Structure 1
Amino acid sequence: MTRDSVLLRLYRRVERALVPVALLIGWELFSRSGVLPPALLPAPSQVLVAWADWVFATDGNTQTYTGKWIHDVAASATRVFAGFAISTILGVGIGMAIGWSRTVERLFEPVLQILRPVPPVSWIPLAIIWFGIADKPAIFLVFLGSFFPVLLSTIHGVKTCDRNLLRAGAMAGGTPGKLLRHIVFPAALPSIFSGLRIAIGSAWMLTVTAEMVAVKSGVGYVLWDSYYFLRYDIVIAAMVSIGLLGFLSDLAIKLLAGRVLRWQRGSTLQAKEA
């Protein structure tokens, strides 16, 4: 690795940090300027102190939350990944069927198109009535929020599959099942992964919403409960935690997509060379 390439990498890392660092400095200065009371807009340094106690139990300033960050994150992550897994299985399965079969599309599309515009949060009263105050309503809401991005992306991926590949597969004696498994599904994977990345963001948003109303644990519950006690430093720490968890979840899907879709990267490079 040459010296220029090392400097270029270092510059790119610094460049990515410029805007976040500038925002933090501006936020710190504004919070300390006295324009707003510190209790209403805590400085980043104050938020960091509260967050450190929430995570590591440093000085007990977060009181009942001290040292419970891992427990709260684990509770939220369990709901997110449970609902996300259900939506992935059903979204990909139903999306493949709708994209492949005109009959299935005619049967299911009217109902799905009616349900799709309904905001997931509007299901909260019914979710509480059906499932009570526990994990189930949160998982149900996460499923609703992440199902349609996966479904629509899968349908799009199946419908945009190269018809010449299907004709070639059929001429080689491929059955519909084999065509779906060996041609259509791999061709739809880029669209499916795009839908999964959208869905995981929706999943985190919905689990926080559900925890504010229907659950008594998790990061969303801490956010809402600390609001009642005017602990806006904990509120912001919870918001940052949610953003960080969403970022890491999206990164995990992105890395998985990079491994699964290595063939796509190779074909793209070949197309550029040609």
Structure 2
Amino acid sequence: MLGILIFFGIWQLARSIGLLAVLPGPIEVIEGAPAMMSQANYLLSWSNSAKRVFLGFAIAVVLAIAIGVPIGMSRKLKEFSFPVLEIIRPIPPLAWLPISILFWPSSELTMVFLTFLGAFFPILINILAGIDSIDIRYIQAALSLGAGKNTLFWKILVPGALPSLFTGLTIAIAITWEVVIAAEMASGDNGLGYMTWQSY
């Protein structure tokens, strides 16, 4: 809490001494908030952006788990597929925008796709890291006691990978909001990013 107060204090001080001539200070933002929130498209913009975020995020979660778990459980599959994923992963989601505009028939699908890309790799990488972090002795002990694949998956791999998975989900949901705002600025006609760009 103290860190947040210090941040807003420095922001207001910088505004007061003229370092931020264009950016309004926290007090001006608070004073202008009611007028902004009273705009007819304000809540609609939040709704449209949230739909894109959660749709892209949900698709990313499903695919990342469906792809990440088999890769994490199979060394051969990981050796075959992980280098390809590592080539694609460093590409920023917004760098896919020109191809996405050509590939998808509507701007809505383009924005959802970019949001999906922003969430997919953080979740996937954290799933793989979670599986890799499981102590091999637990797996060996379970196998020596006669555990089958289902038991090994639900009793060892899932509990061991969950903390890392939730870390990936936390990172991914933050990235999806950043990506959707930028995507709406570039190719949208509604949403928070579009509203921000129009206001600018």
TM (norm. structure 2) is 0.90
- Bigger-Rg structure (1/2): 1
How many pairs align?
200
Aligned in 2, Cα 1:119/1:35: closer, same or farther, shift over 3 Å? closer
- Tell me what 2:82 maps to: 109
For residue 123 of structure 1, give the secondary structure of its aligned residue in structure 2: helix
Higher mean Cα deviation, 211-220 or 42-51?
Answer: 42-51
CA offsets per residue over residues 1-36 of structure 1, 9 Å max, x none?
xxxxxxxxxxxxxxx2x3433443443454355566
State the shift of 1:128 in Å. 1.2
The CA RMSD over aligned residues, in Å, is 2.0
Contact 1:92/1:192, CA 8 A, preserved across alignment: no
1:161–1:187 contact (8 Å) kept in structure 2: yes
| Aligned mates of 1:48, 1:223 — CA distance in 2 | 17
Residues of 2 paired with 1:211 and 1:22: CA distance? Answer: 32
Q: Which has the higher contact order (CA 8 A, sep 6+)?
A: 2
Which whole-Å CA distance do the structure 1 matches of 2:165 and 2:32 have between them?
39
Map Cα deviations across residues 192-242 of structure 1 (whole Å, 9 max, x no partner).
111111111111111111111121111111111111xxxxxxxxxxxxxxx
Contact 1:54/1:68 (<8 A) preserved: no
Corresponding residue number in structure 1 for 2:32:
50
Q: Match for 2:126 among 125, 135, 153?
A: 153
Pairing of 1:82-101 with structure 2 (within 5 A): 82-101=55-74
User: How far apart, CA to CA, are the structure 1 residues paired with 2:20 and 2:138?
Assistant: 63
Deviations along 1:13-64, one digit per CA (max 9) or x if unpaired, are xxx2x34334434434543555665xx2323232223322222x2xxxxxxx
1:150–1:199 contact (8 Å) kept in structure 2: yes
| TM superposition shift of 1:190 | 0.6
1:41 partnered with 2:14? no
Task: Look up the match of 1:247.
Answer: none
> Given residue 155 of structure 1, which amino acid in structure 2 is its aligned partner?
L
Q: CA deviation at 1:164?
A: 2.1
The CA distance in 2 between the partners of 1:153 and 1:131, in whole Å, is 28
Q: Which amino acid in 2 is paired with 1:50?
A: G
User: Residue type matched to 1:47 in 2?
Assistant: V
Residue identity in the other structure for 1:43: G
The match for 1:27 is 11
In the TM superposition, structure 1's runs of 4+ consecutive aligned residues that sit over 4 Å from their partners are 32-37
* CA 1:106–1:45: 2 relative to 1, 3 Å: same
* In 2: Cα distance, 1:71 partner to 1:151 partner: 32
Which residue of the partner structure matches residue 200 of structure 1? 173
Deviations 1:219-267 (A, max 9, x none): 111111111xxxxxxxxxxxxxxxxxxxxxxxxxxxxxxxxxxxxxxxx
* Residues 1:219 and 1:183: Cα distance change in structure 2 (over 3 Å): same
TM-score by length of 1: 0.67
Distance 1:46 1:178, change over 3 A: same
1:102–1:52 distance in 2 versus 1, CA, 3 Å: same
Distance of aligned partners of 1:173 and 1:225 in 2 relative to their CA distance in 1, 3 Å threshold:
same
Q: Which runs of 5+ in 1 are unaligned?
A: 1-15, 58-65, 228-274
- Structure 2 unaligned segments of length 5 or more: list them: none
In 2, the alpha carbon distance for the partners of 1:46 and 1:195 equals 36
- Aligned 8 A contact 1:133 1:215 in 2: no
Q: How does 1:184-263 map to 2 (within 5 A)?
A: 184-227=157-200
